Amino acid sequence: DAGVIQSPRHEVTEMGQEVTLRCKPISGHDYLFWYRQTMMRGLELLIYFNNNVPIDDSGMPEDRFSAKMPNASFSTLKIQPSEPRDSAVYFCASSWGLNEKLFFGSGTQLSVL
């Protein structure tokens, strides 16, 4: 398996623009997580899904952030409108069942100017 695949690897955008980050989890995994990593706050859980259903979105910072999982092999995290403070590395991770071994993608480095 190719692992968790995220795109794009890097995204540079201007404040106010819409940003969409994409994730393909490992086939067969039924949990999908979106994390954000910054120097100041470390790794923070934004939202996670089980069998394509959002379970906990309490980490989503505000209404500008939204996440969807239309099927078992694809998820998006959207920021609209983007702000400079959204600049961070966004990771997607997946796992099988209640196995707490998370498999992370390589992340998307987002820079909002």
Partner 1 sequence: EDQVTQSPEALRLQEGESSSLNCSYTVSGLRGLFWYRQDPGKGPEFLFTLYSAGEEKEKERLKATLTKKESFLHITAPKPEDSATYLCAVKNSNSGYALNFGKGTSLLVTP
Q: Does 91 bind partner 1 (CB under 8 A)?
A: yes
Query: Shortest Cβ distance from residue 107 to partner 1 (Å)?
Result: 6
Q: Does 12 bind partner 1 (CB under 8 A)?
A: no
Q: Which amino acid is at 96?
A: W
Q: Does 34 bind partner 1 (CB under 8 A)?
A: no
Q: Does 2 bind partner 1 (CB under 8 A)?
A: no
Say whether the peptide bond before residue 54 is cis (omega within 30 degrees of 0).
no
Question: What's the distance, Cα to Cα, between the start and end of the chain in Å?
Answer: 36
- Taking the least distance from each CB to partner 1, the nearer of 45 and 72 is 45
What's the rounded Cα separation, in Å, for the pair 110 and 66?
Answer: 16
Instruction: Identify which of 85, 87, 78, 82 has the alpha carbon closest to the alpha carbon of residue 111.
Output: 87
The only residue of 22, 81, 103, 111 in contact with partner 1, by rule CB under 8 A: 103
Structural tokens at position 75: 């998820």
Instruction: Give the binding site for partner 1 (CB under 8 A).
Output: 4, 31, 42-45, 48, 50, 55-56, 59, 91, 93, 98, 100-107
